[in-house]
């Protein structure tokens, strides 16, 4: 574990908790809203966990240019694609070092063995790590990687060839996503031999710009700059995630110099923050969507007219005003307008209570019905106040006789129960991870994602066929036409009520320089500087 000669990590944590102005120009403190679900991106599917692992510690074969959706070489310095689009040959970067920790010091550089291990762990049931840490690999499965991959071959130590079962135009963007992070096979082998394979998921070792130094449960996560990084060493020498659940407390810490950045500000504070002389505010139209998923396998949500009625009974304009404080736009599609393929010709369900009542009567519920509405227990980039949203929906739907009881669970349990199909209807959100429309449609609404991240459990074969067709062609204009048709099906079938696309607001201390907002809603700190 690396310690500063000028300021110990213990002293830093004291400064974080007490508010002492002890932070130096090399220490960046990020006030985050909750603890990560874990530190292993192959096992996780949420931005907080990615921020604490894959965005700082790990890297992929392909990366994104900072602050954009543009692809760039990362651990692969180049690649070749066969004419039929089935073979991708990656030429790996030489001289890349893995991190060290108290139990592991690498004896070799990154090579092809690490690539094969990282993918085969998620793909092959006979891989010794496949069931470690109760691995379910939610994003790998949601992106249908098992069906897509035919083989992964080590050509030599620095060349790997992926062969696909069928052409898949978003392939490069897909393997630039966090779940495709590259782990150290040497570290995994050592921990397996020691009888402690779960260690690689608790104490991450990667090749990224920051080294994981430790985690104090529900208090702080510590990182230090990777002095052996293959690019320039990060200007920030120490990085601390201070876990601060209350948004008001995060704002106070930012104002008093105990944080350099905070996530998920209260929507009611946004206007004040814009004029606060102690902070700087960065805003960007988000690549996200907040939505209500209705479990189509459960009555009454198995009835299309009921789902349409609830769409008509949802006052999105009021939601944007009250929940988002204007920092969002009403959603009519699962896809945000910031992503190509968006179908702007679709007409949204207007707020029409009479129409909603008529549809309920036609569905056999003239007096309405009683049900539950699950309330997302955490604030996410797509939704600044899930509880307030739920209260508005509860009030709106009561006007058509639909009485919903608001229920919630701890976040991990909320997701687990939803995957298992126990959900009735509930609040969810999604931020895109690669800039391709498929990254919304396949994980959220495809048949393959039922049981993973398709919480509505909606499986529509014509919709799935359009997705499959779209990913097998490389012409963006032709793909757009197919995605536009797919959005028409979603609108008619109404497994969701799309609520809003939020504007992402990032409050920073005045000393922060060169921070670039990720279009995916993540926090990536490489390249950020602190003014003297």
pLDDT in tens, 181-200: 999 999 999 999 999 999 99
Q: Which residues contact 290 (CB under 8 A, 6 or more apart)?
A: 331, 382, 383, 389, 427, 428, 429, 498, 499, 500, 501, 502
CA distance 218 to 365: 46
pLDDT in tens, 226-240: 999 999 999 999 999
Q: Are 218 and 8 in contact (CB under 8 A)?
A: no
What ranges in 203-342 are assigned the alpha helix state H?
247-255, 270-274, 304-312, 316-322
pLDDT reading at 4 higher than 80: no
For 16-28, b where at least 16 C-beta lie within 10 A, e where not — what string? beeeeeebeebbb
Q: How far is CA 499 from the centre of its chain?
A: 18
Burial level of 372, CB count in 10 A (0-12/13-18/19+)? middle
For residues 107-135, give the mean pLDDT: 97
Residue owning tokens 């700087």: 280
Angle between helix 438-445 and 476-493 (nearest 10): 30
pLDDT reading at 300 higher than 50: yes
Q: Are 90 and 61 in contact (CB under 8 A)?
A: yes
CA distance 335 to 439: 9
pLDDT in tens, 475-529: 999 999 999 999 999 999 999 999 999 999 999 999 999 999 999 989 999 999 9
pLDDT reading at 127 higher than 70: yes
pLDDT reading at 14 higher than 60: no
pLDDT for 317: 97
Band of pLDDT at residue 351, cut at 50, 70 and 90: very high
Q: pTM of the full predicted structure?
A: 0.87
Percent of the chain with pLDDT over 70: 96
pLDDT for 142: 87
Q: What are phi and psi of 365, to 5 degrees?
A: -125, 65
pLDDT reading at 452 higher than 70: yes
pLDDT for 24: 80
Band of pLDDT at residue 13, cut at 50, 70 and 90: low
pLDDT for 5: 34
For the CA atoms of the chain, what is the radius of gyration? 23
């Amino acid at each position: 574990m690396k310690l500063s000669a000028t300021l110990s990590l213990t002293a830093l944590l004291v400064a974080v908790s007490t508010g002492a102005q002890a932070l130096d120009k090399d220490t960046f403190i990020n006030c985050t809203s909750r603890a990560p679900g874990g530190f292993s991106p192959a096992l996780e599917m949420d931005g907080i966990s990615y921020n604490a692992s894959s965005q700082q510690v790990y890297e992929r074969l392909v990366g994104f240019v900072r602050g954009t959706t543009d692809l760039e070489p990362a651990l692969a310095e180049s690649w070749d694609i066969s004419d039929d689009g089935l073979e991708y040959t990656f030429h790996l970067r030489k001289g890349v070092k893995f991190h060290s920790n108290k139990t592991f010091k690498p004896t070799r550089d990154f090579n092809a063995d690490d690539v094969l291990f990282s993918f085969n762990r998620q793909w092959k049931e006979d891989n010794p790590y496949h069931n470690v840490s109760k691995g379910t690999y939610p994003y790998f499965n949601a992106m249908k990687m098992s069906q897509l991959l035919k083989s992964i071959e080590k050509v030599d130590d620095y060349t790997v060839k992926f062969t696909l079962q069928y052409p898949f135009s978003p392939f490069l963007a897909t393997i630039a996503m966090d779940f495709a992070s590259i782990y150290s096979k040497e570290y995994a082998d050592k921990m397996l031999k020691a009888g402690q394979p779960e260690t690689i998921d608790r104490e991450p070792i990667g090749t990224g710009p920051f080294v994981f130094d430790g985690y104090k449960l529900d208090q702080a996560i510590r990182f230090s700059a990777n002095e052996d990084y293959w690019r320039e060493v990060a200007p920030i020498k120490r990085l601390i995630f201070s876990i601060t659940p209350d948004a008001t407390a995060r704002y106070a810490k930012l104002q008093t110099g105990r944080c350099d950045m905070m996530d998920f500000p209260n929507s009611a504070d946004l206007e004040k923050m814009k004029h606060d002389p102690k902070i700087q505010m960065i805003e960007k139209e988000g690549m996200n969507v907040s939505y209500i998923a209705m479990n189509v396998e459960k009555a009454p949500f198995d009835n299309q007219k009921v789902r349409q009625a609830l769409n008509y009974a949802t006052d999105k304009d009021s939601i944007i005003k009250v929940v988002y404080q204007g920092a969002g736009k009403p959603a009519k599609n699962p896809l945000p307008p910031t992503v190509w393929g968006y179908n702007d010709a679709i007409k949204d369900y207007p707020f029409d209570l009479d129409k909603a009542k008529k549809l309920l009567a036609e569905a056999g519920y003239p007096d309405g019905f009683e049900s539950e509405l699950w309330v997302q227990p955490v604030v996410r980039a797509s939704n600044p106040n899930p509880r307030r949203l739920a209260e508005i929906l509860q009030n709106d739907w009561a006007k058509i006789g639909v009485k919903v009881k608001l229920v919630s669970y701890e976040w991990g349990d909320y997701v687990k129960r939803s995957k298992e199909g126990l959900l009735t209807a509930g609040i969810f959100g999604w931020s895109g991870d690669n800039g391709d429309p498929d990254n919304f449609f396949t994980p959220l609404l495809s048949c393959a994602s039922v049981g993973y991240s398709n919480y509505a459990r909606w499986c529509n074969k014509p919709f799935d066929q359009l997705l499959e067709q779209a990913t097998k062609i490389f012409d963006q204009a032709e793909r757009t036409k197919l995605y536009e048709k797919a959005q028409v099906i979603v609108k008619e079938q109404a497994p969701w009520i799309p609520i809003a696309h939020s504007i992402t607001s990032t409050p920073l201390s005045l000393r922060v320089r060169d921070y670039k907002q990720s279009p995916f809603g993540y926090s990536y700190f490489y390249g950020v500087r602190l003014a003297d």
